Chain A
Amino acid sequence: MMTRITRLGRHGCDLVEALGRAGMFLGQSLVGRPSVEGFKLWLRQMHFIGVLSLAIVLVSGLFIGMVLALQGFTILVDFGAEDALGQMVSLSLLRELAPVVAALLFAGRAGSALTAEIGLMKATEQLSSMEMIGVDPLKRVVAPRLWAGFVSLPLLTVGFSVIGIWGGHLVGVEWLGVYEGSYWGNMQSSVDFVDDIGNGMLKSLVFALVVTWIAVFQGYDLVPTSEGISRATTRTVVYSSLAVLGLDFVLTALMFGELG
């Protein structure tokens, strides 16, 4: 009994400690003067995290937009309201699906890779060698990855929304025969730039912060063995997916609920 209580206490302390480490880690990596060298490193990460994630995000966006249009149409047509298809597709994409699905894909595609890469650097003692020769690994390795993640995910979300709305147009207008004018017209009259697009972007920025932070920290903080790397990679995907979905509820309640 006593040992159980002790163990519980230790787990609690470990948790708080990990949170503290994660917070300090974030602070130390992000503070610092921008430099040409840092910009080049950032650019390389932007290519890996952003540009190479584009394909999976765009293809998913296209299919999700098409499915939304198809599902929405079959329901709306019962009420004779298929003219509202554009509004339905665009609002569900902009407010909800684009930020969330893009963040989940991002966690799977880029987050896990970040964790594994930094983890392997730690396991092969590249990070400690950097420290030895006087290069701060937080600045050299971590900071460019964090910044690249923060910038990439909102951009990917924009791409997701645009291609999703286009996919909805493809199915709704070209295939199912919704009148084109009402698809775009209803969309324009119901979507507000600040309330819908702005809030969607804000969501995606928050998700970008959380997912990249989790991914990079898990890599930096893991037990430097092959098993540790595999565990940390799994944890990255699990934690960031849960964080995205949980935060999404909170943010939605604040933005679109009647609370605000």
Chain B
Amino acid sequence: MKRSKMMEFGVGLFMLAGIVGIIFLGVSVSGLTVGGGKDTYTLQANFANIGGLKSQARVTMAGVTVGRVENIELDTEWYDARVTLALDSRLEDQLSRDTTASILTSGLLGEQYIGLSVGGDPDTLADGDTITDTQSALVLEQLIQQFVANMATD
């Protein structure tokens, strides 16, 4: 009897440890935040070239992450890339209409992300609006081509 109680306790402890382990992995390793997703609102932005930008990439403002890239698709009207951004809802109706979105690279070979910088327009962007002032990704090959072409004309 005593032995079987010990065994039950051991198995219980084992399963409890497994559950604690999963919680540890969730919270501490994957940085899962309890309480579901934060409220977001969406903005659109068209880029001539998105380079290596992927969906779920960060959207930052002054280096602080304020949202994620939700969706990337080809705009068949203009044949450029239409990027949907999901931003923290605290920024809704706060960003000026002439906010610029540019595709930046973290480090020399790092992942690409979108940097926002506010302008001075008193009008603000509401949910679903489009950011008109955008800057495409820096494509290294094009840069080198330009550089070579300039060298040739000199």
Contact = CB atoms under 8 A, between A and B. Distances in A.
Chain A complexes with chain B:
yes
Interface stretch (A47-55, A63-71, A228-236): A47-55
A201 B29 CA distance: 15
A217 to B, nearest CB: 24
B22 A46 contact: no
Contacts of A94: 25, 29
A85 to B, nearest CB: 14
Interface string B1-28: 0000001101101110110011011101
A50 B29 contact: no
Interface residues of A, number: 29
Contact of B11 (A46, A154, A156): A46
A174 to B, nearest CB: 17
Interface string A8-49: 000000000000000000000000000000000001101100
Nearest to A45: B11
A46 B18 CA distance: 13
A202 interface: no
Nearest to B17: A159
A158 B21 contact: yes
Given A44-B7, A47-B10, A159 B28 contact: no
B76 interface: no
A162 B14 contact: no
B26 A162 contact: no
Interface of B: 7-8, 10-11, 13-15, 17-18, 21-22, 24-26, 28-32
7 contacts: A47-B7, A51-B11, A94-B29, A154-B18, A158-B22, A188-B28, A191-B31
Interface of A: 43-44, 46-47, 50-51, 54, 90, 94, 151-152, 154-156, 158-159, 161-162, 165, 184, 187-189, 191-193, 196-197, 201
Closest 9 pairs (CB-CB, A-B):
A188-B31, A155-B18, A158-B21, A191-B30, A193-B30, A46-B11, A162-B21, A47-B7, A51-B14
